[in-house]
């Protein structure tokens, strides 16, 4: 989207976040959130944070968009075959052209967490494999006890909305039912609910010291 | 007495470790992450990390999917 001039650019920014919660926009614009994984959780989380006005996102993913991803992930037919992190970056820029994005096309390894996510205000775990969730939590809670990590655990299947919960202890927040497994299948609504629970927790954390 | 995940009460014993609690609860180690009184406990410390009486123990289960 091209702006006609600087005045229009300013108007666009004001209008884009005109319906935001009062006082949140200027604070969120300064914040940086890391998102590990750009699949069903990560893509929906990133969109929610971009629409909310978070100014800086660091995205990490190695995978490409497949047709089978479109039942729950924030991608389109035209994205199939593209790298997820780059396709997502395009969608986020289409929402807010001023959002700052750092994109890493790679499979995240524990030894690289500090280099990639060391300066974020908080980290969001959005992997699909439970083993990966575990080592990310382990590394983060061991090395960054003062910084929040928000994880998704259990968002498979359909319905059973009441079982989706948020659990908080120390710097760890877990969203989901903690029991449903990917073998039950994954659907758009339930994955997006948990993704948006994670995003909502992130927004609350980012704003909590500025109320 | 300790409370697990804000709902399950278990009898506390002197010197009780995270590994001991896992046996009592019937938990498998592999896909659980543990916080005691808000402090993270790495898996390689389960066998010697003791749980204080009245502790708030969280054992979060990690499920595949995302």
Q: Which of B54, B66, B57, B53 is nearest to B18 (CA)?
A: B57
- For range A100-114, the mean pLDDT: 97
Tens digit of each residue's pLDDT (9 = 90 or more) over A1-39: 555 556 577 788 789 999 999 999 999 999 999 999 999
Q: Give the residue from chain A lying closest to B42, CA to CA.
A: A138
pLDDT at residue number A8:
74
What ipTM was assigned to the predicted interfaces of this complex? 0.94
Q: Quick one: three-class SS letters along A11-30?
A: HHHHHHCCCCCCCHHHHHHC
Tens digit of each residue's pLDDT (9 = 90 or more) over A167-211: 999 999 999 999 999 999 999 999 999 999 999 999 999 999 775
The sign of the CA dihedral B13, B19, B20, B22 is positive
Q: Which of A59, A46, A41 is nearest to A164 (CA)?
A: A41
The verdict on a CB contact (< 8 Å) between B63 and A142 is: no
- Distance from C-alpha of A19 to C-alpha of A154, rounded to nearest angstrom: 32
Q: Which of A160, A155, A192, A158 is nearest to A176 (CA)?
A: A155
Alpha helices in chain A (DSSP H): 6-16, 24-29, 40-52, 84-95, 113-117, 130-143, 188-207
Q: How far from A6 is each of A11, A93, B6, CA to CA, in Å?
A: 9, 18, 54
Q: Give the residue from chain A lying closest to B61, CA to CA.
A: A178
Q: Which residues of A fall within a CB distance of 8 Å from B60?
A: 153, 167, 169, 172, 174, 178
Tens digit of each residue's pLDDT (9 = 90 or more) over A66-99: 999 999 999 999 999 999 999 999 999 999 999 9
Give residue A16's Cα distance to chain centre.
Answer: 20
- Distance from C-alpha of A46 to C-alpha of A95, rounded to nearest angstrom: 11
Considering only the beta carbons, identify the residue of B40, B64, B65 that sits closest to A170. B40
Low pLDDT (below 70) residues in chain B: none
pLDDT at residue number A3:
52
pLDDT at residue number A13:
77
The verdict on a CB contact (< 8 Å) between A181 and B64 is: yes
The verdict on a CB contact (< 8 Å) between A169 and B58 is: yes
* β-sheet bridge partners, residue A149: A123, A172
pLDDT at residue number A209:
74
- Distance from C-alpha of A125 to C-alpha of A123, rounded to nearest angstrom: 7
- Distance from C-alpha of A203 to C-alpha of A173, rounded to nearest angstrom: 13
pLDDT at residue number A211:
57
């Amino acid at each position: 989207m091209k702006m006609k001039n600087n005045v229009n650019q300013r108007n666009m920014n004001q209008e884009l976040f005109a319906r935001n919660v009062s006082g949140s926009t200027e604070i969120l614009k300064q914040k940086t959130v890391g998102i590990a994984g750009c699949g069903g959780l990560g893509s929906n989380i990133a969109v929610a944070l971009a629409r909310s006005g978070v100014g800086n996102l660091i995205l990490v993913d190695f995978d490409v968009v497949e047709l089978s991803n479109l039942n729950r992930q924030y991608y389109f037919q035209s994205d199939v075959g593209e790298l997820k992190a780059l396709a997502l970056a395009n969608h986020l820029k289409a929402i807010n052209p001023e959002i700052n994005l750092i994109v890493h096309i790679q499979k995240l390894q524990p030894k690289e967490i500090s280099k990639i996510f060391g300066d974020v205000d908080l980290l969001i775990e959005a992997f699909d494999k439970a083993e990966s969730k575990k080592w990310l939590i382990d590394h983060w809670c061991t090395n960054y006890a003062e910084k929040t990590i928000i994880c998704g655990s259990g968002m498979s299947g359909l319905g059973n909305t009441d079982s989706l919960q948020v659990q908080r202890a120390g710097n760890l927040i877990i969203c989901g039912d903690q029991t449903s497994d990917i073998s039950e299948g994954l659907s758009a609504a339930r994955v997006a609910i948990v993704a948006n629970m994670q995003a909502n927790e992130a927004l609350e954390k980012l704003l909590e010291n500025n109320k | 007495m300790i409370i697990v995940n804000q709902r399950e009460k278990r009898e506390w014993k002197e010197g009780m470790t995270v590994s001991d609690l896992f046996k009592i609860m019937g938990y498998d180690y592999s896909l659980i992450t543990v916080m005691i009184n808000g402090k993270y406990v790495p898996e390689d410390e389960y066998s010697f990390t003791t749980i204080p009486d009245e502790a708030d123990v969280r054992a979060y289960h990690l499920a595949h999917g995302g």
